[in-house]
């Protein structure tokens, strides 16, 4: 896979290039939209990792031009930015500083399935917020919770179930929280669908029973050894 990294800060760009190259992907790097477009003219990338704010534009502009799976990073983006990225199919929208582990996970998801599966906009830890894009766009409710013990998991359930209006949503959330001993969950509730991203801190072995129950409730599920993505479309 050929990955294009766009970041105007030299030290961060070099660190990203080195860190992501360890995944066995080919990495090209640029400091601006202009440099990125020159690289694209020579060789079109399969995926993009970009800072949102660049000296001559935004990473979202480049993602829109390329039409490839992408990850955005920002030090001062708004939830309007996050929702705009989601609507374009952003795989992950990170707030800087971004742990290299999380970026590698995002690139692995791109490499494994490209556009397949749901895309989830991150929310602040232990919070429920509402992202209200421009007039006429959908409102997205975002929630997140982390846990390390069964008591923490029950508390996470209490917070996140407010974003799970249907019985199928709550069933999925409960099954996944019970299966993952320590981790983090992010929920997006949109007008047309409900999305869950679950990540385990120490890996998880999904049982056939849990998979069956979740898949019966969901429109689509993508399992991995460190978590899952679940999408429930309203009305299914």
Q: Using the 8-state DSSP alphabet, how is residue 105 labeled? A: H
Residues whose CB is less than 8 angstroms from the CB of residue 89 and which lie 6 or more positions away in sequence, other chains included: 69, 70, 115, 119
d(CA 80, CA 117): 22
pLDDT tens digits, 35-78: 999 999 998 898 999 999 999 999 999 998 998 889 999 887 66
d(CA 29, CA 37): 11
Topology adopted by domain 127-233 = Heat Shock Protein 90 (3.30.565)
Whether the ω angle into residue 190 lies within 30 degrees of 0, i.e. cis, is no
**Percent residues over pLDDT 70 in the chain:** 87
> CATH 3.40.50.2300 in the chain, residues?
2-113
Closest Cα partner for 219 from 195, 188, 186?
Answer: 195
Closest Cα partner for 113 from 5, 202, 13, 231?
Answer: 231
If one counts every other C-beta atom within 10 angstroms of the C-beta of residue 43, the result is: 10
**What CATH superfamily classification does 2-113 receive?**
Response regulator (3.40.50.2300)
Judged against a pLDDT cut of 70, whether residue 236 lies above it is answered with no
> CATH 3.30.565 in the chain, residues?
127-233
Q: Considering the entire predicted model, what is its pTM?
A: 0.53
Residues whose CB is less than 8 angstroms from the CB of residue 34 and which lie 6 or more positions away in sequence, other chains included: 56
pLDDT of residue 105: 83
**Is the CB of residue 205 less than 8 Å from the CB of residue 191?**
no
């Amino acid at each position: 896979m050929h990955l294009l990294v766009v970041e105007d800060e030299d030290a961060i760009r070099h660190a990203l290039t080195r860190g992501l190259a360890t995944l066995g992907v080919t990495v090209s790097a640029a400091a601006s939209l202009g440099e990125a477009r020159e690289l694209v003219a020579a060789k079109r990338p399969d995926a993009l990792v970009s800072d949102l704010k660049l000296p001559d534009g935004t990473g979202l502009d480049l993602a829109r031009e390329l039409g490839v799976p992408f990850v955005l990073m920002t030090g001062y983006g708004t939830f309007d930015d996050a929702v705009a990225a989601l609507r374009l199919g952003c795989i992950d929208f990170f707030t800087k500083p971004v742990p290299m582990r999380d970026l590698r996970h995002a690139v692995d998801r791109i490499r494994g399935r490209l556009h397949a599966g749901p895309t989830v906009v991150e929310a602040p830890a232990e919070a429920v917020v509402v992202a209200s894009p421009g007039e006429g766009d959908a409102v997205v409710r975002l929630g997140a919770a982390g846990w390390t013990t069964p008591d923490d998991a029950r508390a996470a359930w209490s917070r996140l179930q407010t974003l799970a209006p249907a019985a199928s949503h709550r069933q999925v959330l409960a099954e996944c929280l019970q299966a993952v001993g320590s981790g983090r969950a992010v929920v997006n509730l949109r007008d047309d669908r409900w999305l869950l991203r679950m990540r385990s801190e120490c890996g998880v072995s999904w049982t056939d029973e849990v998979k069956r129950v979740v898949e019966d409730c969901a429109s689509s599920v993508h399992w991995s050894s460190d978590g899952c993505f679940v999408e429930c479309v309203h009305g299914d």
